[in-house]
Amino acid sequence: MVKKILIANRGEIAVRVMRACREMGIASIAAYSEADKDALFAKYADEAYCIGPPPARASYLNIEKVIEVAKQSGADAIHPGYGFLAENPKFARACESEGIKFIGPSSRVLELMGDKIAARREMIKAGVPVVRAPRSVCWIPVKQATWPRVSDIRSLSNPPAGRGIGMTIVANEGDLASALKSTQAIATTTFGLCDVYIEKYLPHPRHIEFQLLGDSKGNAIHLGERECSIQRRHQKLIEESPSPAVTPTMRAEMGAIAAKAARFVGYEGAEPWSSSSPTESSTFSK
């Protein structure tokens, strides 16, 4: 029975979680940076602890400090909110090793589904339709003739790419070598990985996300979709729910597939399930 939750986040999301805690009779703990000592969420919580100076890397992203405060305050669980450490498998694993409930997916699921290549393999195993991708490659200075043909492939990205980072569209055969180099450079700098993922590019897909809810008993349901197709630089600008392009029949079919995927990997928590790039989401285009 969870009696006390530390919210490893700030601002509006932290207040929302704390409000839910009050309604459920659960004590809430705020973890705040020095810059947020007078913020609403720090005052609204039942208890509040400073976790470091203003830079996020020294406070809200400091796994060791967050865990230390959770243990000091006697928290049974940690709610990560969104952003910051919410999708960090290392943080989830640290909670698990300390016997603190991480309110969200397990470290195994975060690690598995946070990598595009690994996630794709799992979805194929689960029988989920995916966009065709001939193979994943790691940049090696070999002859161009050994690389995949541009007629088969149009899009490159690195496996854990998120928020549109590292995506490159290849339109001509002669651009493939430079695209591989630049994509790998971004992957190495941003994620510390040199792997490059290649897939077919579909120019006019719709980016549809389904909201999922899963529990520790293996149950998973969907709560409808949101339309995220209006983007700039592969990053969402507007989210609309429900999608004007999704019919009731399509919603039932897509929702069932999304819930099936969640059950297959053992997902627990509330999280939008979709492809992480506009090209992959074309599986569900109109």
Rg (CA), the chain: 21
Residues 6+ apart with CB under 8 A from 133: 120, 197, 198, 199, 200
Cα dihedral 113, 221, 127, 199 sign: negative
**168-210, pLDDT tens digit by residue?**
888 887 888 888 888 888 777 766 667 777 777 788 889 999 9
Which residue from 159, 133, 140, 126 is spatially nearest to 264, judged by alpha carbons? 126
Structure tokens at 239: 């989210």
Q: Tell how far CA 31 is from the center of its chain.
A: 22
pLDDT level of residue 34 (50, 70, 90 thresholds): very high
Structure tokens at 150: 């541009």
Whether 47 contacts 30, CB under 8 Å? yes
**220-240, pLDDT tens digit by residue?**
999 999 999 998 887 889 999
Per-domain residue ranges for the chain? 4-103, 136-199, 203-284
pLDDT reading at 92 higher than 70: yes
Q: Which fold has domain 4-103?
A: Rossmann fold (3.40.50)
What class, spelled out in words, does domain 203-284 have in CATH?
alpha beta
SS3 letters across 186-234: HHHHHHCCCEEEEECCCCCCCCEEEEEEECCCCCEEEEEEEECCCEECC
Write down the architecture of domain 136-199 according to CATH. 2-Layer Sandwich (3.30)
